[in-house]
Structure 1
Amino acid sequence: MEKPIIHPYIPIIIGVFSVAISAIFVKMTTADSGVTAFYRMLFSILIMSPVFFWKYTHEIKKLSKRDWLFTTIAGIFLAFHFILWFESLNYTSVASSTVLVTLQPLFAFVGTYFFFKESISVKTLVSGGIAVLGSVLIGYGDFRISGSALFGDVLALAACALITAYLLFGQDVRKRLSLMTYTFVVYGISAITLFFYVVAKGESFGPYPAQEWMWFLLLALIPNLFGHTLFNWALKFVSTNVISIAILFEPVGAAILAYFILGEVLSWSQIIGGSIVITGIIFFITDYRKIKSYFFKIKA
C-alpha cells in the first residue's frame, strides 16, 4: 500500500467540518429532497468533469466487473442516503437528524467485521460507545416518542445505515482506483439514480430562484467535494471505522451552526453530549495510534 502524502487525519477533519454545514444548506432550500440531492450530485460531477476528462478517463478501463458492481451499489446507497436524510430534516431538528445519521459505528463495526474480517478491540468498542452516547445526548431534548419528529428520526437512522454501506463498498474499490475516478463514477451513478427517482416521484427540476441554485452549488462544493471526496481519499489508507468515529463530531458542528444560523436552541444535554462525543473521539484516536499497524494499512 502506498504511503499518503499527508496524514489521513487531516483531510478527515476537514471533511467532518465540511459535512457539518450540509444540514444548514438543506434547511435553507425549498426544493423537494430528491431534487436537492440530484443537483448536489450533478453540480459535483460538472465541477469535476474538466479534470476527469483531461487526465483520468483511461482509468475507466481498469474497472473490473466487481468494481463496477460495488461502485454501482455504493452510488445507489449514496443517492438514497441523501433522499432519506434530506427528508428527515423536514420533520426533525438539525441536531436530532445529524445525531442519528452519524451513528455509523453501530453499523460500521458490524460491517467491517463481516465483510473485511477486521477485529475490533475492546477499547475501540468502548470509545465508540462513548461517542454514540454523546451523540444521543446531543439530540435528547428534541427526540419524540411519536409524531412527525419520530418519523424524521427513523428516516435519519435509515440514512445512517445507507451511508455506512456506501463507505463499506467504497473501502473495497478505493484500494484499486484513484480518488478522482472512483468519486466521479460513484457520484455519476448516484446522480443517475436520483434523476430517475425525481422523474418517478414527479418532482420538479425547476425553475428555481437564484438563491436556490446557490444552495445547490454550495452543497456540491463544500459537503461533497470537501467532505465526501476527502473521506473517499482517506478510505484508501484507513478503515471505514475510523471515518465513522470521526463523523460523530458532525452533530457538534451542525448543532452550533443551527443555533447561530437557524435559531435552533441548544439544550444542556446537547452541550454535554457534544463534550462526550469529543471525549470518545480522543479516546479512539489514542487507541488508534496504539494499533496503527492494524487499522492504518500503510507500510512504514
Structure 2
Amino acid sequence: MGRDAAIASLAIAGFAISWASILILWSGLNPLSVSLWRTLLASLALTPQAVRELRRVKVELPMGLLTVGGLALAVHFMTWVTSLYYTTVAMSVTIVSTYVIFTIPISLALKRGINELSILGAFMALAGVTLIMYSSYGLGVGSLLGDLLALAGAVSGAVYFVVGELARARLSTAVYAAVVYALASLFTAPVALLLGVDPLRLDLRAFMMVLLIVVGPMLAGHTLLNYSLRYLPATVVSTATLIEPVGSTILAYIFFRQGVGVLEALAMVIVLAGVYLSIMGVTGSAQRGL
C-alpha cells in the first residue's frame, strides 16, 4: 500500500514542481528571497504536524544527517533559482532535472542497491529530456554561469535526495521535511543578508506567488517526493523529477500557446516510459523478493 501511494505521489509531485520556474519568474523576487521564503513557510506549515508526531512517538533526530540535507537543499534552491535569471528556463530546468546522474554514483558509494532496470529507465528518461530541450529550444548553450548554477543545483539536489532516503527510514514525512526545510532556510538567510538582499521587500503579488510556490512545488511537490523516499530508492524518486521538463512544456502550451511538435511529443513519451521503467524496476524487484 505504501509503495503504491508513493508511486501515485510521484505523479502529483512531478506536476507540482513543473510550476516552480514559472511561479518564480512571475514573482519577480530576488532568487535568495524566493529560496528563503519557500523553505521557511513550508517548514512552518509542517511544524504543527511534526510536533504532534514527535510528542506521540519519541524518536532521536539524526541531526548530522538532517544538517547535510538542509545544507544540500539550501544550495540546491539558491543555485537553481538564481540560474533562472542567467540562462533560459529550458536550459535551467533541463540541467537541474539531471539529479539521477548524480544520485546513482552517490547511492553506489553508500552501497545502496540499485536495480538495473531502474538505471536503464533513468537514462532513457534523460535522453527524452535532452530531446525536449533540442526540439523546443535548440542546443544554444545559454549563459555559462546560469548553466553552471543549474548544474550545482542538480548535484546538491542529488545529495538532498540520497540523504532523504537515509533519513526517511527513521523519520516521518512531516518531521523530516519540517526540520530539513527549516535548516535550509537557516542556511539561506545569512547568505542573503551578506549579499545585501532584503527578504522583506516584497509586494502583495510577489507574496501571493510565494504562497503558490509553497503550496504547489514545496508541499505538493518536494514534500510528496520526501514521502516517496520512504518506499522508493532515491534513484527512482530523482528520475521521476524528469517529469518536470515535460510538465513545463505542457504549461508553456497552455499559458503561452507554444506549440508541441511531433518531436516534442515523442520526447515526452520517452521520458514517461523511462520513468515507468525506473519505477517498475523497483516494484518488480520487490515482487520477486530481491
CA distance in 2, matches of 1:211, 1:295: 52
Structure 1 residues 224 and 90: alpha-carbon distance in aligned structure 2, compared to 1, 3 A threshold: same
CA distance in 2, matches of 1:160, 1:125: 17
Which residue of the other structure, out of 244, 252, 270, is the alignment partner of 1:276? 270
Q: 1:130 touches 1:277 (CA, 8 Å); kept in 2? A: yes
Aligned to 1:204: 198
Bigger mean CA deviation after superposition, 139-148 or 73-82:
139-148
Aligned to 2:70: 75
Structure 1 residues 86 and 159: alpha-carbon distance in aligned structure 2, compared to 1, 3 A threshold: same
CA distance in 2, matches of 1:72, 1:263: 43
> Structure 1 segments of 4 or more deviating over 4 A?
143-147, 262-269, 293-296
Aligned to 1:127: 121
Aligned to 1:22: 20
2:227 maps to 1:233: yes
1:114 alignment partner AA? A
1:26 alignment partner AA? I
Aligned to 1:192: 186
The gaps in structure 2 that reach 5 residues or longer are: none
Structure 1 residues 129 and 93: alpha-carbon distance in aligned structure 2, compared to 1, 3 A threshold: same
The alignment-based identity, stated in percent, is 26
Q: 1:94 touches 1:255 (CA, 8 Å); kept in 2? A: no
Structure 1 residues 84 and 100: alpha-carbon distance in aligned structure 2, compared to 1, 3 A threshold: same
Offset, 1:264: 5.7
2:119 maps to 1:108: no
Aligned to 2:86: 91
Q: 2:39 touches 2:181 (CA, 8 Å); kept in 1? A: yes
Offset, 1:223: 0.8
CA distance in 2, matches of 1:277, 1:193: 34
Aligned to 1:56: 53
Deviations 1:62-112 (A, max 9, x none): 235xx1011001001101101111111112333222211111221111111
Aligned to 2:151: 157
2:272 maps to 1:260: no
Q: For 1:91, what is the secondary structure of its paired residue?
A: coil
Structure 1 residues 145 and 289: alpha-carbon distance in aligned structure 2, compared to 1, 3 A threshold: same
TM-score scaled by structure 1? 0.87
Q: 2:115 touches 2:282 (CA, 8 Å); kept in 1? A: no
Aligned to 1:40: 38
Structure 1 residues 171 and 291: alpha-carbon distance in aligned structure 2, compared to 1, 3 A threshold: same
CA distance in 2, matches of 1:45, 1:287: 33
Offset, 1:116: 3.3
| Two-structure CA RMSD over aligned residues (Å) | 2.4
Offset, 1:8: 1.4
Q: 1:134 touches 1:277 (CA, 8 Å); kept in 2? A: yes
Structure 1 residues 29 and 60: alpha-carbon distance in aligned structure 2, compared to 1, 3 A threshold: farther
Q: 1:96 touches 1:143 (CA, 8 Å); kept in 2? A: no
Q: For 2:118, what is the secondary structure of its paired residue?
A: helix
CA distance in 1, matches of 2:31, 2:86: 12
Bigger mean CA deviation after superposition, 246-255 or 287-296:
287-296
Q: For 2:171, what is the secondary structure of its paired residue?
A: coil
2:162 maps to 1:168: yes
The gaps in structure 1 that reach 5 residues or longer are: none
Q: For 1:124, what is the secondary structure of its paired residue?
A: helix
Structure 1 residues 237 and 289: alpha-carbon distance in aligned structure 2, compared to 1, 3 A threshold: closer
1:52 alignment partner AA? A
Structure 1 residues 263 and 192: alpha-carbon distance in aligned structure 2, compared to 1, 3 A threshold: farther
Offset, 1:120: 3.6
1:45 alignment partner AA? S
The count of corresponding residues between Structure 1 and Structure 2 is 289
TM-score scaled by structure 2? 0.90
Offset, 1:15: 1.0
Deviations 1:175-196 (A, max 9, x none): 1111111111101100111111
Q: 1:131 touches 1:276 (CA, 8 Å); kept in 2? A: yes
Q: 1:37 touches 1:82 (CA, 8 Å); kept in 2? A: yes
Which residue of the other structure, out of 282, 285, 288, is the alignment partner of 1:291? 285
Q: 2:18 touches 2:248 (CA, 8 Å); kept in 1? A: yes
